[in-house]
């Protein structure tokens, strides 16, 4: 499975756009990129998943360059409630018996 590297922590203020970049130099052809969010005392929650270019949903955008060796999760206009740990995961289809591996994630702290 491709290994991922992301910053341990980031700080932001309310109303700002936050971009969290994840490096995955050894990503394989069939790998998808998935991001989860985790609040204290809760289980992780799926945010977004993509394969290439750009994916957008009601919560975030995911930017993936052509070489797919990195990806950027973009959170528009963050609020205090976006303070959480964000995990970047890379893997191929679960049908191969391979599960996604969670690293330590990026702890995002949003201040007023």
Partner 1 sequence: EAGVAQSPRYKIIEKRQSVAFWCNPISGHATLYWYQQILGQGPKLLIQFQNNGVVDDSQLPKDRFSAERLKGVDSTLKIQPAKLEDSAVYLCASSYRLAGGQHPEQFFGPGTRLTVL
The contact set with partner 1 (CB under 8 A) reads 30, 32, 34, 36, 41-46, 49, 51, 85, 87, 89, 91-94, 97-105
Smallest CA-to-CA distance from 6 within 34, 41, 31 is with: 34
Beta-bridge partner residues of 49: 34
State the nearest-atom distance from the C-beta of 13 to partner 1, in Å.
25
Kindly tell me which of 13 and 51 has the beta carbon lying closer to partner 1. Answer: 51
The residues, ordered by sequence, that sit 6+ positions from 5 with a Cβ below 8 Å of its Cβ are 22, 23, 24, 103
Kindly tell me which of 8 and 112 has the beta carbon lying closer to partner 1. Answer: 8
State the nearest-atom distance from the C-beta of 42 to partner 1, in Å.
7
Kindly tell me which of 49 and 72 has the beta carbon lying closer to partner 1. Answer: 49
């Amino acid at each position: 499975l491709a290994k991922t590297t992301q910053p341990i922590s980031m700080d932001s203020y309310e109303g700002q756009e936050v971009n969290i970049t994840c490096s995955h130099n050894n990503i394989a052809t069939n790998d998808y990129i998935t991001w989860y969010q985790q609040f204290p005392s809760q289980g992780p929650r799926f945010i977004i998943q993509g394969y290439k270019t750009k994916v957008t949903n009601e919560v975030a955008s995911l930017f993936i360059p052509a070489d797919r060796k990195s990806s950027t999760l973009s959170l528009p206009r963050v609020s205090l409630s976006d303070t959480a740990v964000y995990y970047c995961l890379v893997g191929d289809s679960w049908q191969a018996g391979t599960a996604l591996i969670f690293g330590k994630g990026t702890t995002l702290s949003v201040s007023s």
